[in-house]
């Protein structure tokens, strides 16, 4: 009888231990976070740092990471199967391309902000330029722009200069950058005399000054679309992030960094 009692107590202890382990497993699952990766246009870098904080305060069970780069490069990565849960582009062209190829979920696509194109110089530049029409190849050195083949800011810059019939005349002055932030860096460091960036990029730097703003009739409207990728394994969480971009809180942050809806 005594042995049976000991066996019963051992079995009971094992059951209690197993129950505790199950409860711990359930607790771990309840606190487990979902991680999402957002491929994001480089011009959004600073704004996204603040939006990430605001989003994770609202959705504490979701961790957001970003892959920043030119929209063209990011789109090509998605085309090649790179894992990402959503795409935030600086133009419609690359998002259109992915939608045509079935690489995004069309019903999640939204336009969430916009921007302007500006000509910048170093804050101490001696150049006297007050409009894009004033850009004279005989009076300037190097002009940095994003590579028009992959960088939307470079595409917009080419559109502006082409409409003003200055593109061909500036051939030989261009320094092509991998993204708009590299353009900003070139002008900040003095490596180039001028650069063409978004107004939001110029706003974050105290080393450059805006010399001219491009008229909106000189380029395609600058509209930023977002969408969940078709291959995302965490599409519900990615969709929440895109929905958050449209909230008053996120729009206020974007506005603070120079973006306009």
Q: What is the mean pLDDT of residues 196-205?
A: 97
**CA distance to 65, 98, 101, per residue, from 79 (Å):** 20, 7, 8
Pick the CATH number of 117-218 from 3.30.70.1140, 3.40.190.10, 1.10.600.10, 3.90.1150.10: 3.40.190.10
Sign (positive/negative) of CA torsion 80, 84, 86, 88?
negative
Phi-psi region of 2 (alpha: psi -120 to 50; beta: other; left: phi over 0): alpha
Domain residue ranges in the chain: 1-28, 33-114+226-256, 117-218
- The band of 32, judged by pLDDT with boundaries at 50, 70 and 90, is confident
- Cα torsion through 150, 151, 152, 157, rounded to 10: -110
Residue 189: the pLDDT is 97
Return the HEC string of the chain.
CHHHHHHHHHHHHHHHHHHHHHHHHHHHHHHCCEEEEEEEEHHHHHHHHHHHHHHHHHCCCEEEEEEEECHHHHHHHHHCCCCCCEEECCCHHHHHHHHHCCCECHHHCEEEEECCEEEEEECCCCCCCCCHHHCCCCCCCCEEEECCCCCHHHHHHHHHHHHCCCCHHHCCCEEEECCHHHHHHHHHHCCCCEEEEEHHHHHCCCCEEEEEECCHHHCCCCEEEEEEECCCCCHHHHHHHHHHHCCHHHHHHHHHCCCEC
Residues 6+ apart with CB under 8 A from 223: 91, 92, 111, 113, 114
Domains 33-114+226-256 and 117-218 share a fold: yes
Q: What is the mean pLDDT of residues 180-206?
A: 97
- Calculate what percentage of the chain has a pLDDT beyond 90: 87
Given a cut of 60, whether residue 98 has pLDDT beyond it is yes
- The band of 154, judged by pLDDT with boundaries at 50, 70 and 90, is very high
Cβ neighbours, 10 Å, residue 141 = 12
Task: Find out whether 212 and 118 touch, Cβ atoms under 8 Å.
Answer: yes
Range from 23-37, 128-142, 166-180, 192-206 carrying the lowest mean pLDDT:
23-37
pLDDT, tens digit, 9 for 90 and up, residues 36-85: 999 999 999 999 999 999 999 999 999 999 999 999 999 999 999 999 99
pLDDT, tens digit, 9 for 90 and up, residues 1-26: 445 444 444 444 444 444 554 444 44
Which CATH architecture is the domain 33-114+226-256 placed in? 3-Layer(aba) Sandwich (3.40)
Given a cut of 70, whether residue 200 has pLDDT beyond it is yes
Residue 31: the pLDDT is 57
Residue 258: the pLDDT is 96
- The band of 261, judged by pLDDT with boundaries at 50, 70 and 90, is confident
- What average pLDDT does the chain have? 91
Report how far residue 146's alpha carbon sits from residue 175's, in angstroms, rounded to the nearest whole number: 8
């Amino acid at each position: 009888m005594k042995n049976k009692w000991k066996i019963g107590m051992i079995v009971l202890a094992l059951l209690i231990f197993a129950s505790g382990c199950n409860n711990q497993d359930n607790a771990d699952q309840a606190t487990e976070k979902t991680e999402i990766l957002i491929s994001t246009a480089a011009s959004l870098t600073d704004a996204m740092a603040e939006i990430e904080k605001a989003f994770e305060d609202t959705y504490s069970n979701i961790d957001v990471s970003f892959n920043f780069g030119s929209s063209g490069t990011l789109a090509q990565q998605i085309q090649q199967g790179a894992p990402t849960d959503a795409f935030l582009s600086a133009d419609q062209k690359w998002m259109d391309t992915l939608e045509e190829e079935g690489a995004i979920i069309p019903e999640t696509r939204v336009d969430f902000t916009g921007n302007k194109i500006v000509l910048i110089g170093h804050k101490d530049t001696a150049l006297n330029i007050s409009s894009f029409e004033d850009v004279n190849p005989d009076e300037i050195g190097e002009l940095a722009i994003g590579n028009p083949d992959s960088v939307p800011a470079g595409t917009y810059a080419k559109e502006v200069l082409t409409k003003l019939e200055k593109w061909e005349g500036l051939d030989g002055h261009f320094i092509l950058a991998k993204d708009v932030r590299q353009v900003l860096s070139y002008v900040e460091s003095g490596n180039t005399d001028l650069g063409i960036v978004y107004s939001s990029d110029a706003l974050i730097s105290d080393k450059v000054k805006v010399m001219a703003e491009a008229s909106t009739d000189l380029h395609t409207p600058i509209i930023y679309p977002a969408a969940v990728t078709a291959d995302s394994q965490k599409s519900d969480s990615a969709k929440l992030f895109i929905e958050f971009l449209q909230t008053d809180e996120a729009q206020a942050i974007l506005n603070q960094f120079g973006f306009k809806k």
